[in-house]
Structure 1
Amino acid sequence: MKIVLDAGHGGHDPGAIANGLREKDLTLAIVKHIGKMLEEYEGVEILYTRTDDRFLELSERAAIANKLKADYFISVHINAGGGTGFESYIFNNTKDANTIAYQNVIHGEIVRAIGNFTDRGKKRANYAVLRLTNMPAILTENLFIDNTNDAAKLKSEQFLHQIAYGHVIGLEKAFGLKKKAQPQQKASDKKLYRVQVGAFSDRKNAERLAEELKKKGYQAIIV
């Protein structure tokens, strides 16, 4: 499956600017995180409208996706105008059931990933990248650059990862993507390290941490 990732704005078009941030930089960072995470999935070809700071017309972005015969198109943006929170858009005249279903799933996963922010809803608009693309498409508006609290989060690389993670899990669930199998290490090849992390008064907390450590390949024993 081919997924085109579109980082909004770029080049002489910085997008919205506020609180020491530029939309074009944030969208590119998020898109690159999405692409990197998608590399872990089987059968996914990741394509970009831009991977550096360059300007593209809106029609060019859609044309790239159409020429590549992409299966899905995601355009990533940061909002402005004094609000707060997350919202997503599909083309206002679409009657395609898949486009609507994909928005429902992806929107929900992004809201879950970013945590305690306003869900501004699943919306529709006559945006060029949604109107001109031949495949199902979504445009996401990830918080408000001119809101002090939103901007504080957008300055965190970890939070940009969270936004990207929401997009990826949304894609995983919408399209039934499967993670690539990880090569198994021979027991003889494994290096074992003893990790002592302290004591817990609540056994459930100890069990939760033990499970996380096991996922990372450590031996975790509760005593």
Structure 2
Amino acid sequence: MKKVWIDAGHGGKDPGASANGLQEKNVVLEVSLAVKRQLESEYEGVQVFLSRSTDVFLELKDRTEKANAAGADVLVSIHCNAGGGSGGFETYRYTSASVASAAFQNLLHTEIMSRLKPFGVIDRNQKAANLHMCRESKMPAVLTENLFIDVASDAVKLKRQEVINALIDGHVAGIAKHLELVRMEEKPVTQERDINQLSPWAAKDWKEATENGYIDGSRPGAPVTREENAVIMNRLHKNFMQLIANNSERLAALEKRLQFIEAKKI
């Protein structure tokens, strides 16, 4: 079982960047929750942990200590950027990052950017910095900066569900590739049957059952309910009892006839 730690930045009393009607803490929480849902529903053998699943404040130390204690295989800290300029997307690893962290950053960055390019998002490239979430994590760790809250053109994009979905899909794909996760097998779609179409192999029995009054002859392909079963069983019971009664009358008549014949012989 692979363990993934998703850290939604800021939260609670710390809103993060705020501008253009957006708050960083809300955007990143939406993305984080969806990444968890998608990874666990689409891939086998993966468990996703969240630093926070609601609007609460956590110290940076608490976030990394919990991730380390959980024995997570990778950590992704999800943020939005601020500071003006032209906006765009970028990722960070620690300045002295391991080879695994660098490889993870490359995969994650590539997958996310490939989904953001159709929306005209600027690629600000892969970077390294002395960031707590990357430095104090014992596993490969990457921090993503998902567009600029205070850049109007980026804020407009962040208000579009298609862009949020692109961020979610990119994070999921990058994590899945790095951990070599296997997609869950898709169950084959069963062709829905026309309930009014009679199967050739049942035609004779269906005709006889209809003529004998056990069924009304409609909806041959429909599932049978408990109520319909009760009706059929009751009709069978009545017919069976009638058959017994008829046979009893015949046997009684036959017995009288035999008695008459025996009396004549005497």
Question: Smaller-chain TM-score range?
Answer: 0.7 to 0.9
Which of residues 107, 114, 117 is equivalent to 2:116? 114
Kindly provide the CA deviation profile for residues 36-68 of structure 1, in whole angstroms up to 9, marking residues without a partner as x. Answer: 110210111011000000000001110110110
Other-structure match for 1:91: 94
Percent identity at matched positions? 43
One-letter code aligned to 1:111: M
C-alpha spacing 1:126/1:190, structure 2 compared with 1 (3 Å): farther
TM-score after normalising by structure 1: 0.82
Task: State the shift of 1:185 in Å.
Answer: 3.9
What is the alpha-carbon distance in structure 2 between the residues aligned to residue 189 and residue 105 of structure 1?
Answer: 45
Other-structure match for 2:63: 61
C-alpha spacing 1:131/1:156, structure 2 compared with 1 (3 Å): same
Kindly provide the CA deviation profile for residues 81-100 of structure 1, in whole angstroms up to 9, marking residues without a partner as x. Answer: 00310000001122x11111
- Structure 1 segment 148-163 matched on structure 2, within 5 A: 148-163=152-167
One-letter code aligned to 2:138: N
Other-structure match for 2:262: none
One-letter code aligned to 1:91: Y
Q: Which structure shows the higher helix fraction?
A: 2
Gaps of 5+ in 1: 192-223
Task: State the shift of 1:189 in Å.
Answer: 6.0
One-letter code aligned to 2:35: I
Question: What secondary structure is seen at the aligned counterpart in 2 of 1:34?
Answer: helix
From the CA coordinates, give the structure whose radius of gyration is larger: 2
TM-score after normalising by structure 2: 0.69
Q: Is 1:139 aligned with 2:112? A: no
Which of residues 167, 171, 176 is equivalent to 1:167? 171
Task: State the shift of 1:72 in Å.
Answer: 0.3
Task: State the shift of 1:158 in Å.
Answer: 2.5
Other-structure match for 2:217: none
C-alpha spacing 1:186/1:122, structure 2 compared with 1 (3 Å): same
Question: What secondary structure is seen at the aligned counterpart in 1 of 2:121?
Answer: coil
One-letter code aligned to 2:130: N
Which of residues 71, 74, 77 is equivalent to 1:72? 74
Gaps of 5+ in 2: 196-266
Kindly provide the CA deviation profile for residues 197-219 of structure 1, in whole angstroms up to 9, marking residues without a partner as x. Answer: xxxxxxxxxxxxxxxxxxxxxxx
What is the alpha-carbon distance in structure 2 between the residues aligned to residue 109 and residue 158 of structure 1?
Answer: 16
C-alpha spacing 1:19/1:177, structure 2 compared with 1 (3 Å): same
Task: State the shift of 1:161 in Å.
Answer: 1.1
Task: State the shift of 1:178 in Å.
Answer: 1.4
One-letter code aligned to 2:84: G
What is the alpha-carbon distance in structure 2 between the residues aligned to residue 148 and residue 165 of structure 1?
Answer: 23
What is the alpha-carbon distance in structure 2 between the residues aligned to residue 15 and residue 189 of structure 1?
Answer: 54
Aligned length: 190
* Higher normalized contact order (CA 8 Å, seq sep 6+, divided by chain length): 1
Task: State the shift of 1:172 in Å.
Answer: 2.1
What is the alpha-carbon distance in structure 1 between the residues aligned to residue 168 and residue 140 of structure 2?
Answer: 19
Which of residues 129, 134, 138 is equivalent to 2:133? 129
